[in-house]
Structure 1
């Protein structure tokens, strides 16, 4: 059929009728589905309650959305750059953060480690090498509740916990297990002589004399027992034991503060040599129960012990021989030889000789002792008298 030709009348009429029917069907109202009715009802209820549909809380679309996104990107750019700089600086130097939350301060005597004026300072890590300087000044004033306030000892460990032994290994003629047992014996000696409450109150330290020291070492055990029974200038038990006179003072609390280190090495003829260097700090008050005065006495002991090779020497298995012992006693009356330490109290007590000689810091563990450089102690070889009468009665810079 050409473009100029017209449709037959019956065909055109049928086309018109079909088109009108289709239009009526497409425009006729439809029954909403169950889901549509449920959504409609929920929207009606929200509108009655004055609530906005969730879609109204959504971010807009189109140009407005692009504008808000751009503003957000701009804000994060402004905030993110300085924040990244701060993170980078803290990563390079974490100590800039208050309180050193990452534990990066390696100086145990720094203000941060000392607590910046707080009487409750962080405890010191175990001493694993000789200290190189005296500890910093400590804040606070001692009281019956806080007897170590104002002293570096506030950060020392309590009693036997401060005697940290090195890891054992086979040395000389001895296995790793035998070395470990000998190291434990050295700790038992230190605790029994300087921490045990019975010893501090004047009792005989039987654990040290009967279980640690070798009875086959000529005269030492017998001498120590004799010194305890009858102390004197030439046989002073304080050279080995810490003891106090209950008629004069009382111990404050149950804690003796302890700091030091233990080392060992192979000795002569397959022996095991153990070196101990420890400071013990005692808090004391007058015997008068109503007194609130607090004083501290500081005792440092350096002892060389030896586990002899039984194949070379006559020795008791598992017992230690004492090769040398040094002591340094601070804040105790000088030239009083009754077998007790006598802290200097403001309220009085045995005066002894007046302090003389240079002032020494008893907490300075970087200095050697036994060289006459202060304190009331000296040094002695095993079996010697332990006489320190020739030493000056040193002045201490703090207690």
Structure 2
């Protein structure tokens, strides 16, 4: 199989002729016989004048007059070398300038941020999983939330994304429950937390069917309370006790990530059952539903949930379902005092007092203390 040249023969021939001519013209040439004769005559004249002047030396700064010979003056290779280096330097500057212009066109903010006084910063590295209660509140974080970085200025920027932040501990047998039964209880508790607080449909205000389905139907009072709160929410029947929900006509999520941090533990429960304790903080980035809205705020929900998985052979329970034994919750920037079944974040301020706030200001990112089970859900957040 033969391949044809992409260029016609006459073009190749012209290219070869031009190349050969350029080589001949640029090659160093031996000086002609006439040039050598002129050089020799001028040398003899210089010697004659030197003898007539009594052998005086040339005055400082003077030099014999000689024509440029093939061994005098800069060699053609050296001249071409300097020119080539100059071209290469100028070419490199041109490439850098062109690249800078291209980056500026594609992302002007990045270029500006690299200039002195710019704000280009890498986000902090993710935190390792929480395995014990922290000793204090996390430090301050600089910046303010934007549509591209909704967690800027918040410790949550280092939290894990969504369900990845709910780390299930390694299972072990406790009481009368096998390792496999404990593992199942831990997995079911995680599934409930995800369905109640992270499922996109639930967060957008939908009915949390998956979360309700995990609750043991034998626990009729809890299931009934959930259904009543979802259908007819009021002060005494609030679905926010169980689920994180926002009014889709009012706000929308910025992106699809909810930041999550907390820990899960287990121990032997009543009559040899396994009791699971979950303590997690969920951080939701939100903007107004109105078209073109660019303002970003965060709502922070901390939940403490206790569940049990009982032995069906000893208790009247449904295998594989959870028994919910305790609920605690605290909100920051939630529109406290509104009982329509939705969280209502406020926009325009970083630190705010809820309408029904009681007690001292609280840092919603401080996980070093237990939630006050006797206190209300409303409070003054020192930051969001």
Contact 2:247/2:344 (<8 A) preserved: yes
Provide closer, same or farther for how the CA distance between residues 171 and 117 of structure 1 changes in structure 2, counting only shifts above 3 A.
farther
Pairwise mapping of residues 295-374 of structure 1 onto structure 2 (< 5 A)? Answer: 295-346=297-348, 353=355, 355-371=357-373
Q: Given the two structures, how large is their TM-score scaled by the length of structure 1?
A: 0.63
TM-superposed CA distance for 1:357, in Å, is: 3.1
**Match for residue 396 of structure 1 among 373, 381, 384:** 381
Contact 2:354/2:380 (<8 A) preserved: no
Pairwise mapping of residues 35-74 of structure 1 onto structure 2 (< 5 A)? Answer: none
Look up the SS of the partner of 2:223 in the other structure.
helix
Contact 1:327/1:370 (<8 A) preserved: no
Contact 2:328/2:373 (<8 A) preserved: no
Show the counterpart of 1:282: 284
Look up the SS of the partner of 2:184 in the other structure.
helix
Unmatched 5+ stretches in structure 1: 1-115, 378-392
Pair 1:178-2:181 in alignment: yes
Q: Given the two structures, how large is their TM-score scaled by the length of structure 2?
A: 0.66
Show the counterpart of 1:271: 273
TM-superposed CA distance for 1:346, in Å, is: 2.2
Provide closer, same or farther for how the CA distance between residues 163 and 261 of structure 1 changes in structure 2, counting only shifts above 3 A.
same
TM-superposed CA distance for 1:312, in Å, is: 2.4
Show the counterpart of 2:131: 128
RMSD between superposed Cα atoms in Å: 1.9
TM-superposed CA distance for 1:117, in Å, is: 9.4
TM-superposed CA distance for 1:181, in Å, is: 1.2
Look up the SS of the partner of 2:220 in the other structure.
coil
TM-superposed CA distance for 1:254, in Å, is: 0.3
Unmatched 5+ stretches in structure 2: 1-118
Supply the distance in 1 between the matched residues of 2:379 and 2:374 (Cα, whole angstroms).
Answer: 9
Pairwise mapping of residues 1-399 of structure 1 onto structure 2 (< 5 A)? Answer: 118=121, 120-210=123-213, 212-346=214-348, 353=355, 355-371=357-373, 377=377, 393-399=378-384
Look up the SS of the partner of 1:192 in the other structure.
helix
1:86-117 Cα shifts (integer Å, max 9, x gaps): xxxxxxxxxxxxxxxxxxxxxxxxxxxxxx99
- Give the number of equivalent residue pairs: 263
Supply the distance in 2 between the matched residues of 1:339 and 1:292 (Cα, whole angstroms).
Answer: 25
Look up the SS of the partner of 1:322 in the other structure.
strand
Show the counterpart of 1:58: none
